[in-house]
């Protein structure tokens, strides 16, 4: 259950990141930094959660 909640939170953060980038509220570096952190979290950390 907690894994599902965390996954939804990460998805919401990524969608908000895309929206902020589209409206030019954040710069390119911050945009890609959030994307990379979310990808690393999803690929390496999420599978280890039980």
pTM: 0.86
The residue segments making up the domain with residue 37 are 2-48
Considering only CA atoms, which of 15, 9, 17 is closest in space to residue 34?
17
Residues 6+ apart with CB under 8 A from 26: 17, 20
Give kind and range of the element (H or E) at residue 38: helix 28-40
Q: Measured between alpha carbons, how far is 17 from 49 in angstroms, rounded to an integer?
A: 24
Residue bearing tokens 């998805």: 11
Number of neighbours of residue 17 by Cβ within 10 angstroms: 19
For the segment 12-39, what is each residue's pLDDT rounded down to a tens digit? 999 999 999 999 999 999 999 999 999 9
Provide the number of structural domains found in the chain.
1
């Amino acid at each position: 259950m907690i894994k599902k909640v965390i996954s939804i939170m990460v998805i919401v953060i990524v969608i908000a990141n895309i929206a902020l980038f589209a409206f030019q509220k954040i710069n390119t570096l911050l945009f890609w930094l959030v994307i990379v952190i979310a990808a690393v979290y999803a690929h390496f950390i999420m599978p280890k959660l039980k």
